[in-house]
Structure 1
Amino acid sequence: MSLWTAADAAAATGGRAQGDWLASGVSIDTRTIRPGDLFVALTDLRDGHDFVAQALQKGAAAALVSRIPEGVTPDAPLLIVPEVLPALEALGRAGRARMGGKIVAITGSVGKTSTKDMARIALAGQGRIHAAEASYNNHWGVPLTLARMPADTDFAIVEIGMNHPGEIAPLSRLARPHVAMITTVAAAHLEAFGAIEGIAREKGAIFEGLEAIGTAIIPEDLPVTQILRDGADAAGAIVLGFGQHGMARLVQAKPEGAALKCRARIAGETVDFTLQTTGAHFAMNAIGVLAALAAAGADVSEAGRCLSDWQPPKGRGAVEELGGIRLIDDAFNANPASLAAGLATLAGLRGGRRVAILGDMLELGADEADLHRAVADDPSMASVDLVHAAGPLMRHLFDALPAGKRGEWAGNAAELAARAGSLVAAGDIVLVKGSKSSKISSVVEALRNCLKREEDECSIG
């Protein structure tokens, strides 16, 4: 299948194509490139031009470059442009322009990737579906997603993220969604925004890119909901709220083993669905997904049935049986809201001792110590039996806990990982969570390795 001809790509980017090539995909990574891909030589930590020869050797149809790289013949199949990133944006803009289906864009402080995956799976069987890969939600991830989108796509799911003010609106204008959903607004990246109200305004900027008479899907039950609603109103959007109240609301979420049996009302229609998780926050995001898909013209009842095929991604709350314990791997990232959700999931599971292994939550600004300390007062903490912590910020939480809940504290995650086997016992239910940069995921890997080995020093219990 041809995604981009040399002529079409040149017209989209204003570049000069060498050769009459056809690209069936778009790639920025030679480690995962496939034969027929157009390799985009982005410059980030390393210059992608250094890998063009390797990409062509691996079967790339051509390379998008700003110069002819060393080791590449002058007549190699190339698309030569003044700057690579703007050219990728132009390619994404052209990909969006030729697509006649519906675009759903998703942002939020918590749950963007898992919600995007929910939407993709829920749409199974309803046409040709295209969705962002992994967490491709930034200044190169969004245009890459659009550049990879086949022209005959019926529904596309685009994830949009941010770290600093002013990042969301340009990406939304590039994607031009018909429906834009905000999962939630929480204390994340506070260093850059100063207050949660600033985060809400930045998230609400996603509505600036909506197509005419677009739909804004917003969480109803937040202190900053009105800020989101104001942003949607300013964009002239139809507003559909979701949560415990609103036009899309969760009526019931009943745990059944490791699953949740849910009932929702979506714009007057009753929808029953099952999620392969016990995390109530996932159920709330599913309500938003169903509302968004209904607004995009999908069959919402069929979408609800397909949600049973979704599972939390690795590192984002998946529950697994691991040796003698049940592990909730939620180590991909953390902020106060997502940690509260993780603790609620831990508290809701029935079984043995509940153990939380927590790493620092980062980028929280001047109040970071207080935000960590406040986790001790989280209602779900009453059901947690033992807390192990790593990092200087989590020391504030550790010291605020009753003595009976304190397990081990370490200066960094590596120190906890080195003694992973002593942190848990057979029958435990274990939550591991922290910001990605805290490297608390090393504890997850240590537990997995430890419980697979038979040496005495790694035995648990």
Structure 2
Amino acid sequence: MSDAPLWTPAALESATGGRLIGAPRAVTGASIDTRSLEPGDLFFAIRGEARDGHDFVRAALEKGAGAAVVAAARANEFEGVGPVLAVPGEDEDPVLEAMRRLGLAARARTGAAIVAVTGSVGKTGTKEALRHVLSAQGATHASVASYNNHWGVPLTLARMPEQTRFGVFEIGMNHGAEILPLTAMVRPDVALITTVEPVHIEHFRSLSAIADAKGEIFSGLKPGGVAVINRDNPNYERLLAHAHASRAGRVITFGEHAAADVRANRILTRPDVSVVDASVMGVPLTYQLGTPGRHVAMNSLGVLACIHALGADLARAALSLAALKPPVGRGERTALRVGDGEAFLIDESYNANPASIRAALATLAGIETGAKGRRIAVLGDMKELGAAGETHHRELADAVAGHGIDVVFAVGPLMAHLFEALPMAVRGTAAPSAEGVTDAVLATLRPGDAVMVKGSNSMRMVRIVEAVKARYAVAPDPREASLNAVR
């Protein structure tokens, strides 16, 4: 990357229609949060659900922000405080609109090859996998965490350096028509849908409606772009229709289906890795994944489909996947010192839905515990499932039994329905909140155990993860630990 600033003063004013007041410092990044703001970041004072970013302008400038983007009507409040970019507009939030405009300018000036990723499950992990493999082949810019909504996408665009070779954008939604404006901003060369599952179903009349909402991502494809679709998904034909209705010049499919362009012939899952024997556009390819789990292996096929569509080095990408590690909260593994032995923690606390919990239970089932070790699942409510919420939770009992889970701790009123459906021997403790089961989880752990924690964000399951790590000394390197669960 060049040492040139991310944005010059002239480019900022031109893109946003704003007026710089005061001498701006070099702008090297962009931020909407003073807690994570770095010196040189352009601070956007957008209005959040609870707070107005204008309340934090002074703090941002004190931390060394390159400038603060503020509504022109409020610019006089910051006279003499530091450099501000006053943006006009009658919009509900002119600062957010200015960030969108800057994002559009970033997209217009770059020659990068862009991939957009959506899906009910696995979009963040797939985005991170693409970031990982593409970074080895050129300057790569990608969404941070799950910055995939109406402010996350334009912010990610605004942060993209002009010299970027590859861009990877995650695009999310929980209502129809939310993806349309975001994919129109990103204008991807390649668009991937990982899968369609009953996530956010309370906002949709059917699973087909969710597929239609996900299919919106293809509408933003550049003319001649590539649509990448999961061939195994029951909604494949519906997604294919969306691709054909777009400007896509090509469709690439992935999965285990005999007709898939990128096909898994065999997936071998082990406690700490997976091995995939695949065929990519008719060419045999066997590779290893540093992140275990059958669902991760399936999404890796979509990653390779994108690599092929971009014209990047496929063999090099496959080799890079061996070093892929799961993101925090999405399968991160930690070896723990428990008593005179070791136990194993799988952090899946970031979010949850029926498909991802079943996948996590399958991964937990693949771990070999110690001689007296158990597979323990700590599960929190899955939100936004609507009237079918109780049923979706109760039906997880089959997956618990089928995967040989020994103990289940349940957090939340919905997960209580699963708890009631389980045999007494499998029931650990149930409580309305994470705090209600934390002590019981800590007390139950013994050498050789493998414990997995998962639930929707609002259930704050990460607090259980933090408590487990705080109680038990973490082994220096989980992959080098002598934990039986990893052998």
TM-score normalised by length of structure 1:
0.94
Q: CA deviation at 1:75?
A: 8.2
Between the aligned partners of 2:284 and 2:80, the Cα distance in structure 1 is 62
In terms of mean alpha carbon deviation, does 123-132 or 172-181 score higher? 123-132
2:5 to 2, 13, 24: 2
Determine if contact 1:23/1:38 at 8 Å carries over to the other structure: yes
Q: CA deviation at 1:350?
A: 1.2
Residue 250 (structure 1) aligns with: 264
Q: Which amino acid aligns with 2:6?
A: L
1:390 pairs with 2:390: no
Q: Which amino acid aligns with 1:374?
A: E
1:226 pairs with 2:232: no
SS of the residue aligned with 1:114? Answer: helix
Between the aligned partners of 2:100 and 2:252, the Cα distance in structure 1 is 30
Between the aligned partners of 1:154 and 1:24, the Cα distance in structure 2 is 18
Determine if contact 2:117/2:194 at 8 Å carries over to the other structure: yes
What is the identity percentage for the equivalent residue pairs of Structure 1 and Structure 2?
48
Determine if contact 2:75/2:84 at 8 Å carries over to the other structure: no
1:92 to 89, 103, 126: 103
Residue 59 (structure 2) aligns with: 54
SS of the residue aligned with 2:78? Answer: coil
Q: CA deviation at 1:10?
A: 1.0
In terms of mean alpha carbon deviation, does 216-225 or 255-264 score higher? 255-264
Q: CA deviation at 1:424?
A: 2.6
Residue 69 (structure 2) aligns with: 64
Q: CA deviation at 1:74?
A: 5.0
Runs of 4+ residues deviating >3 angstroms: 19-22, 67-71, 379-382
Determine if contact 1:343/1:381 at 8 Å carries over to the other structure: no
Residues 49-103 of structure 1: per-residue CA shift (max 9 Å, x gap): 1211222222212111104457632584221112100110000000000011200
Between the aligned partners of 1:257 and 1:423, the Cα distance in structure 2 is 22
Between the aligned partners of 1:235 and 1:122, the Cα distance in structure 2 is 28
Residue 151 (structure 2) aligns with: 140
Structure 2: which 5+ runs fail to align?
89-93, 475-487
Residue 189 (structure 1) aligns with: 200
Between the aligned partners of 1:320 and 1:364, the Cα distance in structure 2 is 31
Residue 34 (structure 1) aligns with: 38
CA, structure 1 residues 264+91, in 2 after alignment: closer, same or farther (shift >3 Å)? Answer: same
Residue 157 (structure 1) aligns with: 168
Q: Which amino acid aligns with 2:398?
A: D
Determine if contact 2:376/2:405 at 8 Å carries over to the other structure: yes
Between the aligned partners of 1:339 and 1:360, the Cα distance in structure 2 is 11
Determine if contact 1:6/1:20 at 8 Å carries over to the other structure: no
Between the aligned partners of 2:464 and 2:197, the Cα distance in structure 1 is 26
Q: Give me the CA root mean square deviation.
A: 1.7
2:316 to 280, 291, 302: 302
Determine if contact 2:397/2:421 at 8 Å carries over to the other structure: yes
Report the count of equivalent residues: 453
1:363 pairs with 2:381: no
2:14 to 11, 15, 22: 11
Residue 421 (structure 1) aligns with: 442
Residue 115 (structure 1) aligns with: 126
Between the aligned partners of 2:147 and 2:403, the Cα distance in structure 1 is 37
1:349 pairs with 2:367: yes
Residue 291 (structure 1) aligns with: 305
In terms of mean alpha carbon deviation, does 325-334 or 29-38 score higher? 29-38
Between the aligned partners of 2:243 and 2:418, the Cα distance in structure 1 is 37
Q: CA deviation at 1:20?
A: 5.5
1:25 to 26, 29, 39: 29
CA, structure 1 residues 201+328, in 2 after alignment: closer, same or farther (shift >3 Å)? Answer: same
1:199 to 193, 210, 230: 210
SS of the residue aligned with 1:33? Answer: coil
In terms of mean alpha carbon deviation, does 393-402 or 376-385 score higher? 376-385
SS of the residue aligned with 1:292? Answer: helix
1:43 pairs with 2:47: yes
Determine if contact 2:271/2:366 at 8 Å carries over to the other structure: no
Structure 1: which 5+ runs fail to align?
454-461
SS of the residue aligned with 2:395? Answer: helix
In terms of mean alpha carbon deviation, does 101-110 or 270-279 score higher? 270-279
